[in-house]
Amino acid sequence: MSLKILFMGTPKFSVPILKAIHDSSHQLLAVYTQPPKKKFRGQKIIESSIHQYAQTLNIPIRCPDDLKKEDEYEFIKNSQADIAIVVAYGKIIPLKILNIKNIKFINIHASLLPKWRGAAPIQRAIMNMDKETGISIMQIKEKLDAGPVMKTFKISIKKNTTQESLSEELSILSASKIVECLDIIKNKKEKFISQDHSKATYAKKIDKIEAKINWNDKAKNILAKINGLYPNPGSWFYLGESRIKILEAREITAKGEPGEIINEKLSIACLENAIQILKLKKEGKNTMSASNFLTGNKLKVGKNINEI
């Protein structure tokens, strides 16, 4: 007998998981996602990635501004769902809904819990230079990401791993494992293990000012920040009055005063070693290689980037 499922998700990350569930023997009842938002200069209304994909599947879609509204509680309560799968939905599920009898609320979280609970686990894992991460299939409780865990699946983090590439890897991993976990629940063989809360760490939301590069840091830390925040919000520094976002870089062995331009390849000294910028984006301009940027921007070797 198949499980009846509500799905709650919003970004591109969630799409392969929704597809895997749709293609399985289980029944999707409805999809919850964030309401459409105005984006870009024309203020065009854009639906979420999950919204757009769910439309192709002809699945009922709900986009409430507030899950605390009584009609949302009544809809979920009367849905006859066995499980709600939550993947980067972006809204806190009220306790009243979590307490609905006969519905298990299961979250796919992009870390190996209890490490990196919170909003930015992928970014924080890279910025912290962790060697591995993964996904946790867990039951949602009132406290954020603190519920018991059913399964974890690990992958390694390489030196050149970015937020974008790791997010894609974890999304594919989640899609490949969710049906397996649903089948375990269907057969009533699931085991949820309480987390060791004393080992919890928190992946707080990325603050825009946090993305600014401090050349007084070690090159390896700066590179981890560049990779961890690519493509959004992106790590940046000021060149004169222009904000420059670094899209791709590498660490090189070199010495100089922090912020000093040390060669004609747009390498900038850090507290330890240096960062060679390979690809960048000047505010208001298109993405370009460092060599193309230097064609129109003559930067003097020995000059400090903070003094231009």
Q: Please say if the pLDDT value at position 45 is more than 90.
A: no
Q: Is 165 exposed, middle or buried (0-12, 13-18, 19+ CB in 10 A)?
A: middle
DSSP, res 261: B
Q: What would you report as the CA-atom Rg of the chain, rounded to the nearest whole angstrom?
A: 22
Answer whether 260's CB lies under 8 Å from 305's CB: yes
Q: List 275's β-bridge partners, or say none.
A: 251, 268
Answer whether 11's CB lies under 8 Å from 87's CB: no
> Are 240 and 174 in a shared domain?
no
> Are 59 and 180 in a shared domain?
yes
> Are 26 and 155 in a shared domain?
yes
Last residue of a domain, one of 154, 176, 199: 199
* pLDDT at 243 (0 to 100): 96
Identify the CATH number of the domain in which residue 177 sits: 3.40.50.170
Residues in the chain: 308
Q: Please say if the pLDDT value at position 163 is more than 90.
A: yes
* pLDDT at 138 (0 to 100): 98
Angle made by CA atoms 199, 203, 209, in degrees to the nearest 5: 145
- Region 166-186 average pLDDT: 98
**Stated pTM of the model:** 0.95
> Are 35 and 132 in a shared domain?
yes
* pLDDT at 1 (0 to 100): 80
Q: Which residue has the higher pLDDT, 38 or 280?
A: 280
Q: How many domains does the chain have?
A: 2
> Are 112 and 186 in a shared domain?
yes
DSSP, res 170: H
Angle made by CA atoms 106, 108, 111, in degrees to the nearest 5: 135
DSSP, res 283: T
> Are 15 and 123 in a shared domain?
yes
> Are 195 and 218 in a shared domain?
no
Cβ neighbours around 176 below 10 Å, total = 13
Distances (CA, A) of 55 to 15, 47, 179, 186, 205: 12, 10, 21, 27, 30
Cβ neighbours around 298 below 10 Å, total = 7
To the nearest 10 degrees (0 to 180), the angle between helices 15-22 and 49-57 is: 20
- Each residue's pLDDT tens digit, 73-121: 999 999 999 999 999 999 999 999 999 999 999 999 999 999 999 999 9
| Domain encompassing residue 270 | 208-307
Cβ neighbours around 232 below 10 Å, total = 11
Q: Please say if the pLDDT value at position 42 is more than 70.
A: no
> Are 182 and 212 in a shared domain?
no
- Each residue's pLDDT tens digit, 121-151: 999 999 999 999 999 999 999 999 999 999 9
- Each residue's pLDDT tens digit, 230-239: 999 999 999 9
Angle made by CA atoms 28, 16, 96, in degrees to the nearest 5: 50
Helix (H, G, I), strand (E, B) or coil at 177: helix
Last residue of a domain, one of 199, 222, 243: 199
> Are 96 and 213 in a shared domain?
no
* pLDDT at 153 (0 to 100): 98
Q: How many Cα atoms are found within 13 Å in the side-chain-facing hemisphere of 87?
A: 31
> Are 20 and 142 in a shared domain?
yes
Mean pLDDT value across the chain: 96
> Are 121 and 224 in a shared domain?
no
* Band of residue 56 on the pLDDT scale cut at 50, 70, 90: very high
> Are 183 and 261 in a shared domain?
no
Q: Which of 24, 104, 100 is nearest to 57 (CA)?
A: 24
Q: Please say if the pLDDT value at position 245 is more than 70.
A: yes
Identify the CATH number of the domain in which residue 299 sits: 3.10.25.10
DSSP, res 24: S
Last residue of a domain, one of 151, 179, 199: 199
* pLDDT at 41 (0 to 100): 62
* pLDDT at 40 (0 to 100): 62
- Each residue's pLDDT tens digit, 10-31: 999 999 999 999 999 999 999 9
* pLDDT at 293 (0 to 100): 96
Q: How far apart are CA 144 and CA 82, in angstroms?
A: 22
Per the structure block, which two tokens stand in for 33? 């996602």
- Each residue's pLDDT tens digit, 258-304: 999 999 999 999 999 999 999 999 999 999 999 999 998 889 999 99
